[in-house]
Amino acid sequence: MAPGTLLGSAGMEPVTARCLCGAVRFELEPPLRDVSLCHCVECRRWHGHVCAMTSVAREQLRFVSDTGLRWTDSPDSDAHARRGFCGDCGSSLFWDAPDRDTISIAAGALDPPTGLRTTVQIYTHQASDYYELDSSLPST
């Protein structure tokens, strides 16, 4: 399957997801994009390491509970993105660029089974020196 392949179909059950403490719970209507690993400096600092993200069209995201949801600007983002997180437990959950039709979701927040695969790694030129890139994945 090529990088960026969308999985699922309109007839599938929603994928459920949440933060660590459950103050932010949401559902994603398929299809979801396969997982991308982002090595950019902002993602590494936000997630504490490489960032694994999927995405859906904005209208495919439905909040079940968003009492803990907070947003902060991503200061060095070329896309003028903001990042969503749980203000109660600190889980990083979303990357949201205002001019895009999709919203990115932290893959670790999804309840299995997801049916997703990791298919690409991006911003590899910003990878840190304490880990090796995955040579089996296409890189940009």
The pLDDT of residue 116 is: 96
135 lies in some domain: no
Q: What is the DSSP letter of 139?
A: B
In a domain, 4, yes or no: no
The Cα–Cα gap between 89 and 73 comes to 19
3-state secondary structure at position 125: helix
Q: How confident is the model over 72-108, as pLDDT tens digits?
A: 998 888 788 999 999 999 999 999 999 999 999 999 9
User: In this structure, are residues 124 and 134 in contact, taking their beta carbons and an 8 Å threshold?
Assistant: no
- Is it the case that residue 58 has pLDDT exceeding 90? yes
pTM of the model: 0.88
pLDDT band at 3 (very low <50, low <70, confident <90, very high): very low
126 Cβ partners below 8 Å, 6+ apart? 39, 40, 41, 44
The pair of three-digit structure tokens given for residue 44, joined into one six-digit string: 């590494």
How many domains does the chain contain in total?
A: 1
Q: Would residue 96 count as lying in a domain? A: yes
Inform me whether the pLDDT recorded for 31 exceeds 50: yes
| Closest of 94, 50, 88, 55 to residue 71, by C-alpha | 94
Residue 118 covered by a domain: yes
Residue 1 lies in a domain: no
Give the domain range for residue 117. 14-126
CATH number at residue 71: 2.170.150.70
The DSSP H or E segment spanning 64 is strand 61-66
91 within a domain of the structure (yes/no):
yes
Asked whether residue 122 is domain-assigned, the answer is yes
Dihedrals φ, ψ of 85, to 5°? -150, 165
How far is the C-alpha of 138 from the C-alpha of 117, rounded, in Å? 13
**Within a domain: 55:** yes
User: How sure is the predictor about 12, in pLDDT bands with cuts at 50, 70 and 90?
Assistant: confident
